[in-house]
Amino acid sequence: MEIQLLVLMLALLGAWYYSLLPAATPIRENRNRKNYIIFICIILILQSALRHVAVGADTYAYYLKFEEIKLTSWQEIWENFRSVYVLGEGKDAGYPLIQKVFQIIFPDYRFFLFAVASFFFWTLGRFLWFNTSHIRNCLIAICLYQALFYGFFSITGIRQTIATSFTLLGYEYIKKRRFTPFLLLILGGALIHKSVLIFLPFYFIAQIKHVKVFLLGIIVILPIVFISARRFAVILAQLSTSENYMNYAISDYETAGAKMFLVFMIIIVCSTLVLYRDISSFESEKIKLVINACALSLIFTPLTWVDPSLMRVAQYYSIFTLLLLPVIIESVVRQHNLRNLRNLVFAVVILLLGMIIIKHNAAYGFLWENMQIIEY
């Protein structure tokens, strides 16, 4: 059985089980939701950490870097910091340091994968716990994660996965309007992957009050961004001083997956615009921050037409769709008086996400299985 479908089935069974538990009070209901999030995050940690090194585009390359760090002296590690942050040569000096420190206790790459997966899914679980209200919303979020984000965060980009964890932690400080700890988290993430700095302006953009006007503005300027996507990508590459980003920006790639993602984001933003009155009436004021993040994601999504690898820029914002999609579904149920059919509506959405998972299923093997390693 394909691993993603297995995880989907476990998510469904877990949601069914925890929904059946007594929930006579809000405290008990929240406890059930918390236990469900813990259950599914453990599953996701195992899915990510037990993968074969041949799974994903970067896992084996990161393995080679991990082994290389064992032969790197501490002096070279600190010299790398100086080269990156004083001389402006190289990139992301924090990642070799993290590996070197980790290897003091656990020199095995498998333990490192477990640590990265545990950290990311702890922050993702915390993100869902603080920003959802029902188990069914968590279920939709997990299904969407498997459909759109699994291929990157679970099996591929280790450095950006760690950096994204810092943004998920930082989001709570945006809600509390505490800039200093938010800034420290983003700067910490930038030591691992410099692209996380693209999330820094969100502290200020998140506070935009006229959300509907902001959404309309995003939709209006989207065609301009789309037409200028390659130029925009080159500018970002120049600002990042990343040779890889520049190669992405000036090359031509197959963009079928990026087109699907762009269509999805347009549907999300336009649905939010149509349902905004209902959403703003029934949801917490904090939902406006989520909507603003998804709107920004739509602006960055045309970059993926230049190269799907530039999805990593949009993903700092698009991950907020995990919170917004369940809210949109709830709003549709309210507006069309479908409360008696709520479970059916959610089932249809889960079925559609399941079809996406089947269509774009990534190759997977456990660490004990035989897989051919392809070097990129």
Give 51's DSSP letter: B
Using pLDDT thresholds of 50, 70 and 90, give the confidence band for residue 252. Answer: very low
Question: What was the pLDDT predicted at 99?
Answer: 95
| 118-147 average pLDDT score | 94
How far is 228 from 221, CA to CA, in rounded Å?
A: 11
The residues spanned by each domain of the chain are 1-156+342-376, 208-335
Measure the CA–CA gap between 151 and 257, rounded to whole angstroms: 12
pLDDT at 255: 47
Residue found under tokens 């410099």 = 194
Residue 366's beta-bridge partner residues?
51
Lowest mean pLDDT among 41-55, 105-119, 239-253: 239-253
- What is the residue whose two structure tokens read 């538990």? 21
Residue 152 DSSP code:
I
In which band, very low, low, confident or very high, does the pLDDT at 254 lie, cut at 50, 70 and 90? very low
- For residue 108, how many other CB atoms are within 10 A of its CB? 11
Query: Which candidate, 346, 314, 351, places its Cα nearest to that of 330?
Result: 346
Split at pLDDT 50, 70, 90, the class of 321 is very high
Position 88 pLDDT exceeds 50? yes
Whether the per-residue pLDDT at 44 is higher than 90: the answer is yes
Residue with the larger pLDDT of the pair 199 and 369: 199
Vertex 89 angle, CA 85 and 92, to 5°: 60
For residue 235, how many other CB atoms are within 10 A of its CB?
12
Q: Look at residue 277 in the predicted model and tell me its pLDDT.
A: 87
Task: pLDDT band for 361, please (50, 70, 90 cuts).
Answer: confident
337: amino acid identity, one letter: N
Question: Of residues 352 and 233, which shows the higher confidence score?
Answer: 352
- Evaluate if residue 111 carries a pLDDT over 90: yes
- Cβ-defined contacts of 89-95 (< 8 Å, 24+): 91/194, 91/241, 91/242, 92/159, 92/191, 92/192, 92/193, 92/194, 93/191, 94/188, 94/190, 94/191, 94/192, 95/159, 95/162, 95/191, 95/192, 95/193
Rg (CA), the chain: 21
User: Does the pLDDT at position 128 exceed 90?
Assistant: yes
| Residues 105, 84: Cα–Cα separation, whole Å | 26
